[in-house]
Amino acid sequence: MLKSLRQGLQKLFAKIRGAPYIDEKVLDEILDDLTRVLIEADVNIDLAMQLRDRVKKRVMETEIPEGIPLNNLVMRVIYDELVKMMGEKSYPLSIKLGKRNILMFVGLQGSGKTTTVAKLAYYLKKRGYRVAIVCADTYRVGAYDQLRQLAEKVNVPFYGDPREKNPVKIVKKALETFKRVDVILIDTAGRHKEEKGLLKEMKELAKALKPDEIILVIDGMIGQRAYEQAKAFAEATPIGSIIVTKLDGSARGGGALTAAAATGAPIKFIGVGEKIEDLEPYVPQRFVARLLGIPDPEFFSRLLKEIPISKSVASGKITLRDLLGYYESIAGKRSIISRFKEFLRLDSIGEKFIEDQIRRQLAILKSMTEEELDNPELLKNHERLERIARGSGTSIIEVRRLLHQFEKMRKLIRALMRSRRISKEAALAKIFQGDLDKSELAELRKYLKGAA
């Protein structure tokens, strides 16, 4: 179904999901891709641009909880806006029980009316309704036989008269014949290539038949041209609904659906193949989720509520206590220290020096009060610095240097948490164990230059 649109969107989502970080530039690139994919599927340019602007605005303006990657927000917002563009609401077929519901099908030539009548008959019959089909297409040779055969296939009663040229007479006859049914589906002729004639004839027929609902069948292959048709139709009748067909093969189906949805007319079903069972109720949420390759539309509502990987990601605050915890956990582990040295190419410095550094920093951290560990702001106070330096057998300069390095490291940790979606503990371990990519490593080298 809508192969190129689906592939384009799925590729884009894989890209969003895998993006190591998202800033405004990356977001703009993503939105360029999105716009291109939509326009290629024949979505109207204005609609595509509006969607782009809305996604950007919402992403830039939304505050998201600490620890939830921006990637999730971008996916969620794009999903939401696509759903809106696809119509947002779903409209179940309203069949009133205890009466005969007359549904009249109209549409341009070849749009899929006759096929859809049979599909809907099958759909309703499976759900327990008593259905009958009527052929009121007195124009096309073969229309009668086509529908009769389909009715046999679906095994529902059928009425038609190949010799009668007046569709109103046929339907009157059919209504006398089918007294005890729930739904009567009336197929009409689709001989006009332009909307005006179609709608004029539809109104005349509707006046005589008094249908409960008129269903316009639109060929998905006409793409965004569906807009004019759906709009004129919606204006011509208050009891109209829409079925868009041929969404299986078409490269322009996305354009047809979005255009029809943009008129505000209710799209009730979609045709997704030539077979009798290839008709589905149209639910924009489900439809978009499927385009995006996600089986469960609930996925998107969970995206922003997801419990982050660890609690500390949620709490998010990175304090000196985290650094202390890490130093304590590696104290004396030579393997970590030598790996650390190796990957940073710090040969000239030497393992002994690193060990010594870690030991001194540990002493500084241990000389801090609980309050200070949680709130480095307090350490702007000279007396506190003096106390810590004395307590750890170091100097005020060293304490300041540690604080300065910690500030830089905090940025790196935050960047890692966001880009790799990991907890701060894991980010710290990555930093010290050298599990970083090139740009992350460059950051860390800069940081360590300050240390040496």
Ligand X SMILES: Nc1nc2c(ncn2[C@@H]2O[C@H](COP(=O)(O)OP(=O)(O)OP(=O)(O)O)[C@@H](O)[C@H]2O)c(=O)[nH]1
Which residues make up the interface to Mg ion (CB under 5 A)? Answer: 113-114
- Are residues 256 and 223 in contact, defined by beta-carbon separation less than 8 angstroms? yes
CA–CA distance, 417 with 415 (Å, rounded to integer)? 5
Among 20, 157, 162, 249, indicate the residue that binds ligand X (CB under 6 A): 249
110 and 219 in contact (C-beta within 8 Å)?
A: yes
Residue closer to ligand X (CB basis): 73 or 189: 189
State which of residues 42, 81, 278, 322 lies at the interface with ligand X (CB under 6 A).
278
Member of 101, 245, 258, 392 binding ligand X (CB under 6 A): 245
Using CB distances below 5 to 8 A depending on partner kind, what does residue 248 bind out of Mg ion, ligand X, none? ligand X
Rounded-to-integer distance, Cα 407 and Cα 447, Å: 10
Our finding on whether 277 is near ligand X (CB under 6 A) is no
The answer for residues whose C-beta is within 8 angstroms of residue 412's C-beta and 6 or more apart is 427, 431, 440, 443, 444, 447
In the complex with ligand X, which residue's Cβ is closer, 243 or 320?
243
Crossing angle of helices 351-366/320-330, nearest 10°? 130
Q: Which is nearer to ligand X, 249 or 316 (CB)?
A: 249
Question: Closest approach of Cβ 189 to Mg ion, in Å?
Answer: 7
Per CB under 6 A, the list member of 66, 212, 248, 355 interacting with ligand X is: 248
Count of residues touching ligand X (by CB under 6 A): 21
Q: What is the C-alpha to C-alpha distance for residues 263 and 241, in angstroms, rounded to an integer?
A: 11
Helix axes 396-420, 382-392, angle to 10 degrees: 100
Q: Taking the mean position of all CA atoms in its chain, how far away is CA 4?
A: 16
CA-based nearest residue to 281, from 292, 272, 294: 272
Q: Among candidates 191, 185, 253, 264, which has minimal Cα distance to 219?
A: 253
> Minimum distance between the CB of residue 273 and ligand X, rounded to whole angstroms?
5
Task: Determine how many CB atoms are found less than 10 A away from the CB of residue 352.
Answer: 10
Phi first, then psi: give them for residue 185, nearest 5 degrees. -105, 125
Asked if 189 and 167 touch (Cβ cutoff 8 Å), the reply is yes
Task: Compute the distance between CA of residue 83 and CA of residue 125 in angstroms, rounded to an integer.
Answer: 30
Scan residues 196-225 and list those touching ligand X (CB under 6 A): none
Question: Is the Cβ of residue 93 or residue 389 nearer to ligand X in the bound state?
Answer: 93
Instruction: Give Cα 248 to chain centroid, integer Å.
Output: 20
Residue closer to ligand X, measured from CB, 110 or 325: 110
42 binds, among ligand X, Mg ion, none (CB under 5 to 8 A by kind): none
Residue placing its CB nearer to ligand X in the complex, 38 or 189: 189
- Shortest Cβ contact with Mg ion: which residue? 114
Max Cα-Cα span within the chain: 110
Q: Which residues contact 256 (CB under 8 A, 6 or more apart)?
A: 42, 218, 219, 220, 221, 222, 223, 224, 225, 226, 244, 247, 250
**290 interacts with, out of Mg ion, ligand X, none, CB within 5 to 8 A per kind:** none
What six digits make up the tokens of 167? 């569709």
Nearest CB to Mg ion, comparing residues 114 and 419: 114
Residue 124: Cβ within 10 Å count: 21
Binding positions for ligand X, 139-168, rule CB under 6 A: 140, 143
Question: Are 235 and 54 spatial neighbours (Cβ–Cβ below 8 Å)?
Answer: no
Smallest separation (angstroms) from Mg ion to the CB of 138? 11
82 near ligand X, judged by CB under 6 A: no
Q: Is 253 in the site for ligand X (CB under 6 A)?
A: no
The one segment of 28-36, 48-56, 63-71, 245-253 that binds ligand X by CB under 6 A: 245-253
- Taking the complex as a whole, how short is the minimal distance between the CB of residue 117 and ligand X, in angstroms? 8
Q: Is 271 in the site for ligand X (CB under 6 A)?
A: yes
What is the closest distance, in whole angstroms, from the C-beta atom of residue 62 to Mg ion in the complex? 49
325 binds, among ligand X, Mg ion, none (CB under 5 to 8 A by kind): none
Q: Which option in Mg ion, ligand X, none does residue 316 bind, with CB closer than 5 to 8 A by kind?
A: none
In the bound state with Mg ion, the residue whose beta carbon lies nearer, of 114 and 312, is 114
Q: How far is the CB of 64 from ligand X (least distance, A)?
A: 40
* Residues from 95 through 124 that contact ligand X (CB under 6 A): 107, 109-115
Residues that bind ligand X (CB under 6 A): 107, 109-115, 137, 140, 143, 190, 245-246, 248-249, 271-274, 278
